[in-house]
Amino acid sequence: EAQVTQNPRYLITVTGKKLTVTCSQNMNHEYMSWYRQDPGLGLRQIYYSMNVEVTDKGDVPEGYKVSRKEKRNFPLILESPSPNQTSLYFCASSLSGEGPRDEQFFGPGTRLTVL
Amino acid sequence: GQQVMQIPQYQHVQEGEDFTTYCNSSTTLSNIQWYKQRPGGHPVFLIQLVKSGEVKKQKRLTFQFGEAKKNSSLHITATQTTDVGTYFCAGWGRAQKLVFGQGTRLTINP
């Protein structure tokens, strides 16, 4: 089944404890991105990647890191999480490597709480 | 930077009434996409509009892209309880990223 998977789905952590949220897609998509969703603010892009080893900042990249060592995986790293990073996070992928020309396939989401 | 504004933020209707959400961009868009997110779920792609003035229909849903490619709308005719959710527009402009509107949350009284 074609899908985007994220792990973990739920995470409660404490300030400053490094964490990684994994994202994997099995559709051979070029473009991958991370979004955070907060009430009243919609979906805001954190980072995106147009291909392996090519990543770039979205609109809210502060406090986050990403890597794209393999085409299928795009982990989101929070080196020192803070309470303002409490949010619902979505990973998404799409076929084209030229930007978001195509429909975005979203993962199920990761609800993160930072105490 | 590019901004996409979506109104209204909330809409409550009686089942059977129509519903419309509007999307406006600060810059000209290459395309606009629409997504639906059911409560507790993830965004799911509905449609993409690319051409100026384009109109597309999916059963009771009608999508329009403005002539200047800076605005769009989604209209649902005769809402049903299955239409409940948050509807997002998302525009692709000059940068290689998709900018989402804030979403319109639709609730329906059966």
What tens digit of pLDDT does each residue of A36-93 get? 999 888 999 999 999 999 999 999 999 999 999 999 999 999 999 999 999 999 999 9
In chain A, what residues touch B101 (CB-CB under 8 Å)? 42
The 3-state DSSP class for residue A14 equals: coil
Provide the mean pLDDT of chain B. 95
At residue B54, does pLDDT exceed 90?
Answer: yes
* Average pLDDT of span B6-32: 96
pLDDT at A96 (0 to 100): 82
pLDDT band at A29 (very low <50, low <70, confident <90, very high): very high
At residue A101, does pLDDT exceed 90?
Answer: no
pLDDT band at B48 (very low <50, low <70, confident <90, very high): very high
The 3-state DSSP class for residue B103 equals: coil
Lowest mean pLDDT segment, chosen from A84-88, B16-20, B23-27? B23-27
Lowest mean pLDDT segment, chosen from A2-11, A64-73, B87-96? B87-96
- The residue among B31, B25, B33 whose CA lies nearest residue B2 is B25
Say whether A99 and B48 touch across the interface (CB within 8 A).
no
pLDDT band at B97 (very low <50, low <70, confident <90, very high): confident
pLDDT at B95 (0 to 100): 72
pLDDT band at B1 (very low <50, low <70, confident <90, very high): confident
CA-derived radius of gyration, chain B: 13
* Average pLDDT of span A9-16: 97
Ramachandran quadrant class, B2 (left: phi over 0; alpha: psi -120 to 50; beta: rest):
beta
Amino acid symbol at A52: V
Query: What are the b/e assignments for B64-84, b being 16+ CB within 10 Å?
Result: bbbeebbbbbbebeebeeebb
pLDDT at B94 (0 to 100): 73
CB-closest option in A41, A99, A102 to B102:
A41
At residue B7, does pLDDT exceed 70?
Answer: yes
Say whether A90 and B35 touch across the interface (CB within 8 A).
no
Say whether A45 and B48 touch across the interface (CB within 8 A).
no
At B31, list the tokens. 């395309």
